[in-house]
Chain A
Amino acid sequence: MSMLRNTWIRAWPLVGLVLLISVLSALLATGGGEVRAASMTGLLDVVIVIGLYVFVGNSGVMSFGHIGFVAIGAYTSALITIPAVSKSLLLPDLPGFLGSIEVSMWASFGIAAVVAMLVAAVLSVPLMRLSGIAAAIATLALLVIVGDVLSNYKALTGGQGTLTGVPTDLTVGSAALLVVIALAVAFAFQMSRFGLRLRAARDDEVAARSLGIAVENERRIAFVVSAGISGAGGAGYAHYVGSLAPDQFYLQLTFLILAMLILGGMYSLAGAVLGATLLSTLSTVLDRLEGGEGVGPLQVKLPANTREVAVAVILLAVLFLRPNGVMGGRELSWPRVLGGRRPQDDFGPPPPGEPAGSGLVDGDPISVKAG
């Protein structure tokens, strides 16, 4: 009995989030068309933020390139689900089998994830040779390259114009299922030996290396797993909006997704989910107000770009006041009324003032110079 209970408590960070997402989606799915659309956007944001979190949260290395994987997933999924008849009109020069292939939505999610993972596997070889901060910059190169190829490879993507005709068959239920799968993969990864080794290296790289952890390889594994989740999120996005353009997947989305992760707290899965939910809601509300559509009793018209300014201001406020985000690196803990312990910092962020990667620590030269 107590063993079962312990397993239950150990899995609670996952189970709690799954329950939260399921209940929330079930409630929202009963709403009108606009509510359903907003909740699908929110759920897809959660998937994409989880994808980013699996790499950034576990490794402590920032990435600006994950929207590239989202784009790869979205376009991959679009190319294999747009009906062959429309494809022959939209993209007459499609190479080989791509012109005739037609798969189901869920099959396309899987294929999109695999394609993104393959690209990530190849790219991770050079990228993860770099020190943390240089790697973060190099991931920006990845974003630029993906954007450039999408806008110029007309035969495959339709170029800078919009690629239309993706079946919009995503429902709130299937979006929620995608979130649950992403949650399960992310949780399994961070509890696995790979995840634990990577977190050890994040908190103290020197100590981790001295224990024989090959930090670069651990980062590569996380990079590939997170690219898979991001790719699947992109595929979901394609089946939600139905039309894709290269500039949907550039710095603006990168910034929004990063802000979500940091708002919630980039060192825990609960933080990723919470940040994405909060900021996605706010972003939808502001978007509607900018369009003059109003939200419930709130009928004000905001100037264009209010949303972007608000996101930037919120992000700065979080970074200055609570740099570890709302969750501060904690996972959901078993409710204390049911006999749970105080929240633990098992998966907490590195102590303040001690950077995750190597670097000069102000006022603490000894720790840097040691060895």
Chain B
Amino acid sequence: MSDVAQHLVNAASLGSLYALLALGIAVIFGVGRILNFAHGQLITVSAYVLLVVSGLPWPLVVVLTLLTGVVLALAMERFAFRHVRRADPATTLIVGFAVAALIQEILVLSVGARSKTVDFATSTTLPVDIAGISIPRLDLVTMGVTAVLLIGLTLLLTRTTVGIQLRAASEDFGMARLLGVRSTRIVATAFAISGLLAGTAAVLLTAKSGTLAPEMGTPAVLIGFFATVIGGMGSLPGAAVGGFVLGVVTVLMQVLLPDGLLPYRESLLFTCVIAMLLFRPQGILPAATAGQRV
């Protein structure tokens, strides 16, 4: 019984982390129809900044890491994606791919290709006992942070002018502009939120694994991409649900797969994704505007 509860906690924790990754992708796609492949590099660079400042008191480390994510995301928008504002999603996807490659190679040039270890928040991996289940504190933190961010994002989107403008822009960008929403500012806002989410993911990922590598962002962005696809492109609740589903399925496979198949769990996970799309190509919670109007 406690085994089952333990796995449930693992699943919820991993699901929360994946939901964070997916939200970072979805918030930009929803507003700007931009799929930012370089989201992974936002995470990587933030994590390396964390490594540099890890001697400081931890709240300062967290703030600086988040700030890196936000600043870098804004810079990406300003210097790369703004130039292709009117291009189709495929072009912006390639722009993201190129930005990602550029940042990654520059990172390799400056810090080397080897992975590094970082001594940050190691105490959070120690477990606490709650009702007979031992839960690593980090899992609790991950779930808590995701919950807070989800609530915060929901409040922002429903209660503030900026949030309403964001939603309007993701429903119908042209119409929102006609009604006076400043498109440049609103896209930049979406990027800033995405950067904040990337910084958060960087903190949680680094605390979890304790190691950094220049390519650490790529698996993260892949998870985020697939989560938004299975959740429903352009839908924020869909992205969160998609991330959660991916996390739960991953943990389920770790528990249930026979040893011989364990190395293939990534393949099996993505095969599940493709198979699911066979039955529900629009995703779990499709955005209202995602349907083709033919």
Contact = CB atoms under 8 A, between A and B. Distances in A.
Contact of B292 (A131, A251, A305): A131
B90 interface: yes
A316 interface: yes
B257 interface: no
Contact of A313 (B102, B173, B177): B102
Interface string B250-294: 000000000000011011001101110110010100000110111
B233 A131 contact: yes
Interface in A293-321: 303-305, 308-309, 311-313, 315-316, 319-320
A145 B90 contact: no
A136 B178 CA distance: 31
B94 A360 contact: no
Given A137-B229, A141-B274, A308-B101, A316 B109 contact: no
B151 interface: no
Given A141-B226, A353-B86, A130 B267 contact: no
Interface stretch (B52-60, B77-85, B125-133): B77-85
B95 A319 contact: yes
Contacts of A60: 90
Given A148-B267, A359-B89, A209 B294 contact: yes
Interface string B61-89: 00000000000000000001001111111
Contacts of B275: 126
A341 interface: no
Interface of A: 60-62, 123, 125-127, 129-134, 136-138, 140-142, 144-145, 148-149, 152, 205-206, 209-210, 251, 255, 258-259, 262, 303-305, 308-309, 311-313, 315-316, 319-320, 323, 352-353, 355-365, 368-371
A255 B38 CA distance: 13
A137 B283 CA distance: 13
19 contacts: A132-B90, A134-B229, A134-B277, A140-B226, A141-B273, A148-B267, A152-B263, A210-B294, A255-B97, A303-B109, A312-B99, A316-B95, A319-B83, A319-B95, A355-B90, A357-B88, A359-B33, A360-B173, A363-B174
Given A137-B225, A148-B267, A319 B293 contact: no
Tell me if A's interface is mostly helix, strand, loop or mixed. helix
A131 B228 CA distance: 13
A145 B278 contact: no
B181 interface: no
Nearest to B175: A365
Contacts of A304: 109
Contacts of A352: 86
Given A131-B292, A152-B264, A319 B98 contact: yes
B222 interface: yes
B108 interface: yes
Contacts of A359: 33, 88-89
Shortest 3 CB-CB contacts between residues of A and residues of B: A355-B88, A365-B174, A312-B102
Contact of A356 (B90, B105, B177): B90
B148 interface: no
Contacts of B218: 251
A144 B33 contact: no
Interface string B146-182: 0000000000000000000000000011110110000
